[in-house]
């Protein structure tokens, strides 16, 4: 028995029961609804031409987020609201302030990217409701991090982001949308079957365990920022799909036993916000991880489950001794994340298991921590090398050094020889140079399109030196590091 996909779009509930489960939101908009304002540039989440805004109830609260329509499958919209550039049209034929500002500031030339920029700006406009003044440059940069334009040079678009808040306001009725979405919520698992493929969206952990056990070969789908590309770029047939984002138990963030618990369905953006609250050193990584629409869709659970050797989260999680919580028919299993990765894209899965959560230890007293990303662009680029260091001191001496790199081996992994060179030593230039030498014994990096083996090794060594330079400016003593930890936990 198949349920229709139900979502709210252009002031009405749409019911869809005839498209393939891997039809993307963008394809449906353009090919079926003939709403062609939303454009396709790359079909892989990179250019932002397809940016739309979705509304969904999370723990009963309305959340409006920009996402890339090109890599989201239509059944994942079930129970949500969709907003596209067509929704900015005002009843009195006036332009929305976002559009008016783009016109006034000359923010559009050929216009291909403009609907995507307008929708990213609209999400910013909504988030500014109730606050006075223009958004700050950092906020504008973050909002536009997933939109590429070949014509304007960006400055006029940034001007438009400021100008839109100076124009007469257009209110958005959140209460009405919340009511609409409440009416769309299901009490049981959503099952959509079409073209010989079934899309399951369980709502409870118990349902997820059961449906996973019944369909062990089904593809688990979370934020679709990897899986979407398997379909749009690699033309892979996915078979049955189990979508985990509606599972209530997987959408929580909490703190207990000295750890931050992050459910597998929590978005990357929310996960990084929670962890950065304790580790402000992650702020730059948070900003540089993909783009805002990718971080709104993707999850930390999906990132560690995918386990790319060039992923940006595994190195700092491994350095901090993070755990992965797995669940399957035999119950729960908790592993150190570093032990989950066995070899290139090979992980320690037991039959029927999925990621339930990750757990990140809170900062330790006398701990120094940093993570660094080296990529060709600041935003929206995959790392050539990603480094993470978490070093704990006992007085003046290093008592526990954790060093982890991405991009240096078949998996993100630690550097045991460099760590051994640090443990028990004073935090001096001689010590750090010895550890840098040891990195050459820990890793044999590859050359590929992102970087040569020599570049990877040299930068990996120099990042370790940078960590030392940034953290050794003051004499190493108990009080200094205790104060450092206090700063971290207070921020
Ligand atoms: C444009 C773009 C830019 C990107 N930039 C970066 C970047 O800068 N840094 C970086 O590290 N990554 C980057 N990525 C990669 C990507 O965002 C991550 O790998 C992402 O976090 C995956 O999470 P997801 O929720 O989207 O997973 P999905 O795509 O839904 O799934 C990914 C994989 O994990 C499995 N899976 C997902 N959830 C679970 C679960 N709970 N249990 C078991 N298996 C599960 C799926 O079956 C699949 O194999 C980028 C991707 C795109 C498209
Ligand atoms: S078409 Fe490029 S991000 Fe979707
Ligand atoms: S206006 Fe031409 S790509 Fe942006």
Ligand nearest to the CA of 106: 3
For the CA of 69, the closest atom of ligand 2 is 4
Locate the ligand 3 atom nearest the alpha carbon of residue 151 and give its number: 2
User: Which atom from ligand 2 is nearest to the alpha carbon of 43?
Assistant: 1
Query: What spacing in Å lies between the alpha carbon of 229 and ligand 3's midpoint?
Result: 24
Q: Beta strand pairing status for 81-83 and 5-9?
A: parallel
Q: Which ligand ends up closest to the CA of 152?
A: 3
Q: Give the per-residue pLDDT at 379.
A: 85
pLDDT one-digit tens code per residue, 383-399: 999 999 999 999 999 99
101 CB within 6 A, ligand 1: no
Identify the CA nearest to 5 among candidates 241, 238, 164, 253. 241
For residue 333, which of 353, 313, 316 has the smallest C-alpha distance?
A: 353
- Show the tokens assigned to 96: 């929305």
Return the bridge partners of 361, or none. 259
Distance of CA 295 from the midpoint of ligand 2 (Å): 14
Q: Is the CB of 412 under 6 A from ligand 1?
A: no
* pLDDT < 50 positions in the chain: 474-491
Instruction: Give the mutation target among 222, 232, 384 for probing the ligand 1 site: most ligand atoms within 8 A of CB.
Output: 222
pLDDT at 394: 95
Distance between CA atoms of residues 224 and 21, nearest Å: 13
Compute the residue count for the chain.
Answer: 491
Counting ligands in written order, the one closest to the CA of 243 is 1
- Tell me the best of 151, 153, 154 to mutate to test the pocket of ligand 3, counting ligand atoms within 8 Å of each CB and taking the most: 151
Asked if 304 and 340 count as a contact pair (C-beta separation under 8 A), the reply is yes
* Cβ neighbour number for residue 333 with a 10 Å cutoff: 16
| Separation between Cα atoms, residue 222 and residue 224, nearest integer Å | 6
pTM for this model (two decimals): 0.94
Tell me, in angstroms, the distance from the centre of ligand 1 to residue 385's CA.
18
Could you give the strand order of the β-sheet that contains 51-58, starting from the edge strand earlier in sequence?
12-16, 5-9, 81-83, 51-58, 61-68
Ligand 1: nearest atom to the Cα of 265: 41
**Minimum-distance ligand 1 atom for the alpha carbon of 220:** 47
Check if the beta carbon of residue 18 is closer than 8 Å to that of residue 30: no
d(CA 314, CA 303): 8
**pLDDT score at 488:** 28
Residue given tokens 């020599």 in the structure block: 454
- pLDDT score at 482: 33
Ligand 2 mutation pick, 36, 39, 45, max ligand atoms within 8 A of CB: 45
Ligand 3 atom closest to the Cα of residue 107 is 1
Going by alpha carbons, the residue nearest to atom 4 of ligand 3 is: 149
- Evaluate whether 203 touches 248 at the Cβ level (below 8 Å): yes
SS3 call for 471:
helix
**CA–centroid distance, residue 48 to ligand 2 (Å):** 5
Count Cβ neighbours within 10 Å for each residue of 80-99 and write b for 16 or more, e otherwise. Answer: bbbbbbebbeeeeeebbbbb
> Helical H runs in 289-336?
292-297, 300-306, 313-319
From residue 292, give the alpha-carbon distance in Å to each of 21, 137, 246: 25, 15, 21
Nearest CA owner, ligand 1 atom 31: 302
Q: Quick one: which H or E segment has residue 325? A: strand 323-328
Sheet holding 385-394, edge to edge: 367-374, 385-394, 397-406, 413-414
Return d(Cα 266, Cα 122) in angstroms, integer: 23
341-343 and 259-263: which strand pairing? unpaired
Task: Indicate the top mutation candidate among 39, 51, 102, 109 to test ligand 3's pocket, ranked by most ligand atoms within 8 A of CB.
Answer: 109
Ligand 2 atom closest to the Cα of residue 41 is: 1
Sequence-separated (6 or more) residues with CB below 8 Å from residue 99: 88, 118
Q: Which residues form ligand 2's pocket by a CB distance below 6 Å?
A: 40-43, 45-50, 68, 70
3-state DSSP assignment of residue 139: helix
12: CB partners within 8 A, 6+ apart: none
* β-strands 197-201, 81-83 pairing: unpaired
Q: Is the distance from the beta carbon of residue 85 to the nearest atom of ligand 3 less than 6 Å? A: no
The pLDDT value given to residue 1: 82
Mutate which of 306, 309, 346, 347 for ligand 1? The one with the most ligand atoms within 8 Å of its CB, which is 306
Element (DSSP H or E) covering residue 74: none
Give yes or no for residue 153 CB within 6 A of ligand 3. Answer: no
Cα separation, 448 vs 150, in Å, equals 27
Number of neighbouring beta carbons within 10 Å of residue 334: 12
Map out the domains of the chain with their CATH numbers. 5-86+175-243 (3.10.20.30), 91-163 (1.10.150.120), 250-361 (3.30.465.10), 367-490 (3.30.390.50)
């Amino acid at each position: 028995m198949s349920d229709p996909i139900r979502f709210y779009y252009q002031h009405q509930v749409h019911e869809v029961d005839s498209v393939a489960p891997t039809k993307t939101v963008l394809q449906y908009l353009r090919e079926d609804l003939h709403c062609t304002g939303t454009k396709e540039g790359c079909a892989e989440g990179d250019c932002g031409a397809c940016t739309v805004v979705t509304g969904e109830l999370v723990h009963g609260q309305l959340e409006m987020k920009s996402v890339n329509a090109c890599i989201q499958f239509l059944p994942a919209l079930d129970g949500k609201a969709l907003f596209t550039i067509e929704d900015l049209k005002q009843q009195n034929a006036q332009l929305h302030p976002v559009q008016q500002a783009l016109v006034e500031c000359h923010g559009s030339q050929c216009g291909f990217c403009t609907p995507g920029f307008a929708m990213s700006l609209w999400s910013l406009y909504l988030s500014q409701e109730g606050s006075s003044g223009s958004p700050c440059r950092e906020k504008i940069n973050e909002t536009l991090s997933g939109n590429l334009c070949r014509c304007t040079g960006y400055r006029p678009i940034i001007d438009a982001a400021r100008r839109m808040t100076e124009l007469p306001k257009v209110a958005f009725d959140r209460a009405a949308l919340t009511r609409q979405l409440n009416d769309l919520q299901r009490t049981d698992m959503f099952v959509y079957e079409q073209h010989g493929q079934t899309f399951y969206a369980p709502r409870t952990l118990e349902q997820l365990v059961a449906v996973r056990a019944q369909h062990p070969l089904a593809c688990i789908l979370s934020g679709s920022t990897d899986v979407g590309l398997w379909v749009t770029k690699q033309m892979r047939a996915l078979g049955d799909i189990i979508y985990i984002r509606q599972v209530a138990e997987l959408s929580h963030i909490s703190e207990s036993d000295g750890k931050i618990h992050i459910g597998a369905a929590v978005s990357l953006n929310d996960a990084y916000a929670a962890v950065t609250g304790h580790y402000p050193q992650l702020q730059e990584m948070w900003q540089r991880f993909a783009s805002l629409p990718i971080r709104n869709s993707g999850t930390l659970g999906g990132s560690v489950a995918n386990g790319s050797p060039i992923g940006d989260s595994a190195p700092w999680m491994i350095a901090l001794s993070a755990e992965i919580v797995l669940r399957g028919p035999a119950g729960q299993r908790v592993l150190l994340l570093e032990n989950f990765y066995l070899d290139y894209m090979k992980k320690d899965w037991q039959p029927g298991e999925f990621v339930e959560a990750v757990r990140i230890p809170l900062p330790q007293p006398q701990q120094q921590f940093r993570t660094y990303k080296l990529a060709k662009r600041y935003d929206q680029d995959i790392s050539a090398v990603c480094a993470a260091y978490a070093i704990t001191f006992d007085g003046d001496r290093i008592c526990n050094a954790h060093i982890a790199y991405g991009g240096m081996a078949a998996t993100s992994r630690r550097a045991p020889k460099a760590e051994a060179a640090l443990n028990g030593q004073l935090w001096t230039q001689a010590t750090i140079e010895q550890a840098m030498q040891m990195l050459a014994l820990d890793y044999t990096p590859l050359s590929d399109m992102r970087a040569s083996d020599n570049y990877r090794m040299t930068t990996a060594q120099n990042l370790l030196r940078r960590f030392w330079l940034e953290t050794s400016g003051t004499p190493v003593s108990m009080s200094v590091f205790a104060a450092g930890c206090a700063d971290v936990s207070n921020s």
